[in-house]
A and B are shown apart, each in its own frame.
Chain A
Amino acid sequence: MRTTIAIALAATLAFVSQALADTTAITNAHIYTMGRGSEIAAGTVVIRNGRIAAVGANVRVPSGATVVDAQGRVVTPGLFIAGTNLGAIEIDLVAPTDDTSTKNHSLSAAFDISYGIDPDSIAIPIARITGVTRALTTPGYADGDSRQFLFAGQAAVISLAAHAPTVVRPRAAMVLELGENGATRAGGARGSMITQLKADLDDVRWYARHRRGFDTGSARDLRLSKADLDALIPVVQGRMPLIVTVRRASDILEVLKLAKEQRLRVILAGAEEGWTVADDIARAHVAVLLHPTADLPASFEARAATLENAARLDAAGVTIAFANPDGGHRIREVRYNAGNAVAHGLPYRAALAALTINTARIFGEASKTGSLEPGKQADLVIWSGDPLEPLTQAEEVFIGGVSQPMDSRALDLARRYKTLGEPYPPAYKN
């Protein structure tokens, strides 16, 4: 009996201390909440059970909380980056490690990248330790000479948390490339591209109304496979956003028109010439995923590309988010690119928003993440300085309130080779 009580008491104590340990207070922090409260020069963030419990200048540290003294350092929400292939590819030219695209022409819209995401990808820790806590992993195209007009497939929202589920929302958006590449896939001209797209969407609507007919073999001729038609139903019903990669101003206007006619929830990606039609994009309430450093006339559809695209779209009232320029390996550059946008006129707070809350809003994740507000999960970063500067490092990363390991395979290599010429080869280190 005594023993039982003792065990029960010990268990209770353990439970209590666990509960206390689950409260963390980051004090003395320069906080960009990206939500209510905006910027707090010296404040505290309280994390309880993985969620933000309080944020502010005059927040009391709960007794028993683990205190992290930020010593005046900057705290922001974790970065949420779209346009990555994190987890879906390990090494670009090593085809078996590439799950970002399919050559199977009977699967396009139905292609679901979430099935290929590897939580153990070596690219994920490299991204995580530079402050990225969430990403949109996006399918691409693997087409060769036998290109056909197709959707790339469905993107997934992933979490970069260690030892936790990686895919947090599969099938978060449909992906389609228009413009020059889209036209090439549709037979070589924009006229066939838009016509084909309309015909396909019309097929999807017909199919949604006649699924029984389809099953009994009395369907009209449909170009897309059943799997593709099924995948596109939420798109034509406006439940799933459609990311459209497009660059030229006239193509952007065409997409806006189509979105209005067909009641599609469109998100523009690329949009190098977006600034020339910024008011139209703003009026349509369409968001833009962009690479703020894409300033060259890389093609005849990007002749108006400029480093001021981000600033001008923002000034016109367009919601922008910064996408990764290169899949996943160079994701640490995204925050530098945001800094370049600031150097070319984008307000600082807007640049931070384009790395955090805007991405969350665009992909329907804003109730969970993207800003430091009570009730949201505690995804945040403590930075050694201004997060947009290359000389600044992410020093601590929390995802869902859990302090993340700050290691990567790349750092292992750096440490292994930091001292050369020792009696035993480097293979004996680490």
Chain B
Amino acid sequence: MSLAAAILLTGCATEELASPAKATRPDLDPAVDADPFPSTYKPLPSTAMALVGATILTAAGEKIDNGTVLMRDGKIEAVGANITPPADYTVVDAHGKWITPGIIDAHSHLGVYAQPSVAALQDGNEATDPNTAQVWAEHSIWPQDEGFNAVRRGGVTTLLILPGSANLFGGRSVTVKNVPAVTEQGMKFPGAPYGLKMACGENPKRVYGSKEHAPSTRMGNVAGYRAAWIKASQYARKWDAYRAGDKKGDPPERDLQLDTLAGVLDGKILVQNHCYRADEMAIMIDMSKEFGYHISAFHHASEAYKIADLLAKENICIATWAGWWGFKMESIDGIEQNAALVHKAGGCVVIHSDDENLSQRLNQEAAAAIAAGRKIGIDIPEADAIRWITANPAKMLGIADKTGSLEPGKMADVVIWNADPFSIYALTEKVFIDGALIYDRHDKRFQPKSDFILGHTGGDD
């Protein structure tokens, strides 16, 4: 033992001997510190600003020609056609441009499956047990993933970062603001609820079935979810009883996995459920009722169109693509019209990416979904379809009161496009997050690059 270590040990021992009763133990009640990795996000500097003359898709149902957006103190102040910018506002001439809310990608693995996609950065699937509700995606996020910068160029201002879908319960997801930061906490969306990633179908049964481990079938999947919900219900009851008894006696044994599941049962954590097939979604809905929770969204949901009425009735969003299908048996019936058919039935449609390339072009994927609807006689106006990548993902992430549309009081997360965003040629010109200019296509000072890109030949191109 080194001398220094010996001194340290002695020091500790002395302290404990001096005041044994004062050693503080954390209160293990999961409700006491529900936010142990708090957001340190601070909006970047901004000034009061008027974006003048653009065609505005508010994502609150309106398309405004020659409109103005006023932003002040990081918030949307006013949106409309007949607004005169106050004298002290910085005026941005946006004539001929289009303005939308910042895009929200409701299914991203940026940071947890970072670029470059080398084995050392594959941190998205804790595929060691079918239930890993105890893991949190935020503990895997590498903020230097250049993908964050790439999708910001595509207008993405908020992302839901999810664990992968290898497990029945993959772990907690986290919502981040797409700002460059050195730590994950620096991106964390203040006040956004956590999510729980669940997965139906082929992935869990393939991953564990191939390891001679349950589940290996869909019925095995469902048995696995139900067993876990039963344990979580009992766990929640124990803590309720402990709290009701003024926390006297020994607290129940704390369990990180059950904390998350109990958080769902308490309505504090939103269920984000990877599920392709209509029949499986219907089973997941019944199970949610058995245990008393609500499914926020079915992700991928390739067959949502087969139960569009049920999903609308249950107020469950679907996060899907337009063009993806056929990559596995459960996506064989994926059709381009999925979004249009669910939208037409009154459902909440979200166009998501699940992909670091597609995430840069969610506006184009939404355009393909509009076109697919028109092909079968469902004509969805752009003013409605813009919600698929803005207001609706905000709803399924539980942040619709904060962002996702251009309405007074909401965060000024705003994109200026050089053309109709549903055109393939549309490029973002300026991206604002909380009223701060965070990307500018024509100003190198506002084109952040990750540390990883720095100094590599051609990397900053």
Contacts and interface: CB of A to CB of B under 8 A. Distances in A.
A368 B206 CA distance: 46
A349 B364 CA distance: 21
Most buried by B among A90, A413, A415: A413
Nearest to A388: B424
Contact of A304 (B323, B333, B461): B461
A211 interface: no
B328 A93 contact: yes
A299 interface: yes
Contact of B325 (A340, A410, A417): A410
Contacts of A388: 424
Interface in B89-129: 115-118
Contacts, number: 146
Given A300-B116, A336-B368, A306 B458 contact: yes
Nearest to B334: A410
Interface string B354-371: 001100110010011011
Contacts of A38: none
B422 to A, nearest CB: 6
B434 interface: no
Contacts of A298: 115-117
Contact of B376 (A328, A392, A415): A415
A390 B378 CA distance: 16
Contacts of A421: 309
A62 B9 CA distance: 101
Contacts of A308: 461
Nearest to B310: A420
A352 interface: no
B160 to A, nearest CB: 20
Nearest to A299: B116
A329 interface: yes
A321 to B, nearest CB: 19
Given A336-B368, A417-B305, A420-B345, A393 B375 contact: yes
B370 A273 contact: no
A390 B326 contact: no
B146 interface: yes
B345 A343 contact: no
Interface string A380-403: 000000001111110000000000
Contact of B115 (A297, A340, A343): A297
Nearest to B376: A414
A200 interface: no
B64 interface: no
A414 B337 contact: yes
A420 B303 CA distance: 13
Interface in A249-305: 249, 273, 275-276, 293-300, 302-304
Contacts of B202: 93
Most buried by A among B116, B324, B461: B461
Contacts of A306: 458, 461
Interface in A55-100: 90-94
Contacts of A295: 150, 357, 360
B329 A93 contact: yes
Contact of A296 (B115, B332, B334, B336): B115
A122 B335 CA distance: 12
Nearest to A348: B425
A75 to B, nearest CB: 19
A177 to B, nearest CB: 17
Contacts of B150: 295-296
Interface residues of A, number: 51
A306 B424 CA distance: 17
A52 interface: no
Given A390-B364, A392-B371, A420-B309, A91 B424 contact: no
B12 to A, nearest CB: 46
Given A93-B327, A123-B326, A304 B456 contact: yes
B424 A390 contact: yes
Contact of A92 (B327, B367, B370, B459): B327
A391 B322 CA distance: 12
Interface string A319-360: 000000100111011001001101100000000000000000
Nearest to B458: A304
A336 B370 CA distance: 14
Interface string B442-461: 00000000001100111101
Contacts of A411: 335, 375-376
B324 A329 contact: yes
A329 B357 contact: no
Contact of B341 (A93, A332, A414): A414
B308 interface: yes
B361 A340 contact: yes
Given A303-B458, A308-B461, A297 B422 contact: no
A296 B425 contact: no
A332 B457 CA distance: 33
A209 interface: no
A390 to B, nearest CB: 4
Contacts of B146: 296-297
Contacts of A234: none
A390 B367 contact: yes
Contact of A342 (B356, B376, B425): B425
Most buried by A among B325, B370, B456: B325
> Which 4 residue pairs are nearest across A and B when measured between Cβ atoms?
A304-B458, A339-B424, A329-B326, A414-B337
25 contacts: A91-B328, A91-B332, A92-B327, A275-B458, A293-B357, A293-B360, A297-B115, A297-B452, A297-B456, A299-B117, A303-B457, A303-B459, A328-B326, A330-B324, A339-B424, A389-B367, A389-B424, A390-B422, A391-B367, A392-B371, A393-B371, A411-B335, A414-B336, A415-B376, A417-B341
Interface of B: 115-118, 146-147, 150, 202, 305-309, 323-329, 332-337, 341, 345, 356-357, 360-361, 364, 367-368, 370-372, 374-376, 378, 422-427, 452-453, 456-459, 461
Given A273-B458, A329-B326, A414-B335, 14 more contacts: A92-B327, A297-B459, A303-B453, A303-B456, A303-B457, A333-B323, A340-B424, A343-B424, A343-B426, A389-B367, A390-B364, A391-B370, A413-B335, A415-B376
